[in-house]
Amino acid sequence: MTNPVRAAGFSRGGRRAVRGWLLAGFLALVSLQTGCSRVAVTNRKQLDLIPSSTMLSMSNEQYSAFLNSNKLSTDRENTELVKRVGSRIQGAVERYFRAENLSNQLSGYDWRFNLVENKDANAWAMPGGRVVVYTGLLPITQTEAGLSVVMGHEIAHAVAEHGSERMSQQLLAQFGGMALSEALSKNPQKTQQIWMTAFGLGAQYGALLPFGRLQENEADHLGLIFMAMAGYNPNEALTFWKRMSEGKSGSPPEFMSTHPSDATRIAKIGQEMPEAMKYYRAATQ
């Protein structure tokens, strides 16, 4: 039987390269088949090549490293604001997961909420409930309810394990599905960049990730429910995004760089508002 690679006229080196590509493709398919889980709340199938224990351990290390190299805000009032909103959303998340018999998905969480001095309009959440808000975000959120929109969204990313999904996608794309521990030992700088990208710490937040928009829609939906359960009127999400749409100029803030268009988001949030209002009314009765 004729070897199709040889028949195509490739040199010996070219044949080795093609075989390498074929092997990489085969390994990628195997990883996609064996390394999948489901989003705990929406039940969507997602790529998951990294054990949750590994993600939590790395999250603890990276969060501590970030705080050691960034200045915490000395503004006591706004610091307390961030901690208050975060704690209320934490309670909502825990109640929601308990009601869905998914509390085991939050095993190992040790929630932390911090405000750091940074002019960028950004916020992010790591696995295990490690959350940071930048001072540059507060002039945009304006109110406590406005802040709950963004923090609810970012915490939704964490509990839906979107960060692990992003990490898995990039490990597969750049290292052929190599284990995170092996990637760290062999190429720590590149792995660090992947981590920062996956969790929104860098300028390329969410870039090149095929499910970015889908993840953002999930985070919008879940974030709306979490803020409502925390006692924040979900209609503030519509107010917030309309304000963002009207006041936007130049590049969007980091936390929304891969988000759907404003018009699409506002329309979808409007469609989900009746569900969110049920949670809000139950929380404020």
Residue-wise pLDDT for 119-154, tens only, equals 988 899 988 999 999 999 999 999 999 999 999 999
pTM over cut 0.75: no
What would the pLDDT profile of 79-131 be if each residue is shown by its tens digit?
A: 999 999 999 999 999 999 999 999 998 999 999 999 999 998 889 998 899 99
The first and second tokens of residue 109, run together, are 């969480």
Class of residue 110 by CB neighbours under 10 A (exposed 0-12, middle 13-18, buried 19+): exposed
What does the alpha-carbon distance between residue 224 and residue 217 come to, in Å, rounded to a whole number? 11
The first and second tokens of residue 238, run together, are 């519509």
Does an H or E element contain 247, and which?
Answer: helix 235-247
The first and second tokens of residue 142, run together, are 């304006």
pLDDT band (50, 70, 90) for residue 40: low
50 CA to centre of own chain: 15
What would the pLDDT profile of 188-237 be if each residue is shown by its tens digit?
A: 666 666 656 666 554 333 333 333 677 888 899 999 999 999 999 999 99
- The pLDDT assigned to 253 comes to 53
> Considering only CA atoms, which of 68, 72, 66 is closest in space to residue 202?
66
Report the Cα–Cα distance between both ends of the chain, in Å, rounded.
Answer: 75
Count of CB atoms situated within 10 Å of the CB of 208: 12
What does the alpha-carbon distance between residue 63 and residue 74 come to, in Å, rounded to a whole number? 19
Proportion of the chain above pLDDT 70, given as a percent: 62
Burial 239-265 (b: 16+ CB within 10 A, else e): ebbeebeeeeeeeebbbbbbbbebeeb
What would the pLDDT profile of 233-266 be if each residue is shown by its tens digit?
A: 999 999 998 887 776 544 455 455 455 567 888 8
Of residues 266 and 180, more confidently modeled: 266
Max Cα distance, the chain (Å): 76
What does the alpha-carbon distance between residue 32 and residue 46 come to, in Å, rounded to a whole number? 9
